[in-house]
Amino acid sequence: MSVYDELFDNQQVVRQIRQKLPRLFLLAELESQRNGKVGMEVGSVREKILIALLMYKFGLDRVNTGIAITEPEIDVIVDGEPLSIKTITIPHNLLIRGVKVSWSVDAETALKFKKEYFPSCDMMLVEIRWDSTGHLYLFKKHSQREILTKLGVSNYLKLPTQGRNTRGVELTGEALRLLIKDASTRKIDIDFPHEQLDYKEAYKRWLDAWRETYSLS
């Protein structure tokens, strides 16, 4: 058992996740849009939403976000237990595939990452399927290591294609499907209705901040 299992065992938190996460992720997309297209920064916004969930569940004092920007795997630490956070959007009729584990596009750096990669922490993955059912998964460190050993690194990780901007090293679809089926994996089913939000909602928190009255004493 890890501290992150508590998210999946607490039914009140599970209800909150099912009710609130889809709309928060919609707001993340709205904030990351320009000219109707969602930018790459949406991943960072989603990560902050999930870290805020951990703060809500465990309290600010138990959550450490002071992770070096050069750290390739760990995104947050709760009670001394590191966690990697990933999100991916998939059309509802396609199989899950291609979750990024490193954003290096330099071929030499990507190859070095592949040779040295060995999972060091649990991984939280949100599979977003708009207008369908997605999932929040928790992949345990030991299951990641077992499946990596079983498949071999070349079938577990996919390197970026040279000459194309594929944006990094990915977990293969086969690795992901085995992780999802693993007996130790935790899962929450989440419906992701794609509501139409007013674009002004992307600016609401900043507008509220400007409207807030401060004492200048």
Per-residue pLDDT tens digits for 81-99: 999 999 999 987 888 877 8
Which residues, 6 or more positions from 149, have their beta carbon under 8 angstroms from its beta carbon?
A: none
Alpha helices for the chain (secondary structure H) = 5-9, 11-31, 42-58, 107-116, 141-151, 153-156, 173-181, 204-211
Nearest of 168, 167, 81, 73 to residue 118 by alpha carbon: 73
The SS3 of residue 75 is coil
Indicate whether 214 pLDDT > 80.
no
183, exposed or middle or buried, with CB in 10 Å at 0-12, 13-18, 19+? exposed
Give me the chain's average pLDDT, please: 89
Starting at the edge strand found earlier in the chain, the sheet holding 157-158 runs 99-102, 169-171, 157-158
How confident is the model over 134-139, as a mean pLDDT? 98
d(CA 169, CA 171): 7
Q: Residue 93: beta bridge partners?
A: none
3-state secondary structure of 30: helix
pLDDT of residue 108: 80
* Contact (Cβ atoms closer than 8 angstroms) between residue 132 and residue 189: no
Residue 47: per-residue pLDDT: 94
What pTM does this model have? 0.88
Q: What is the pLDDT of residue 105?
A: 60
Count CA within 13 A, CB hemisphere, residue 10.
Answer: 14
pLDDT at residue 76 is higher than 70: yes
Question: How many beta carbons lie within 10 A of that of residue 18, not counting itself?
Answer: 14
* Segment 182-205 mean pLDDT: 88
Domain 5-205 has CATH 3.40.1280.10: no
Structure tokens at 211: 């409207």
User: How is 108-145 classified by DSSP, letter by letter?
Assistant: HHHHHHHHH----SEEEEEEE-BTSEEEEEEE-HHHHH
Residue found under tokens 């790459």: 40
Domain residue ranges in the chain? 5-205
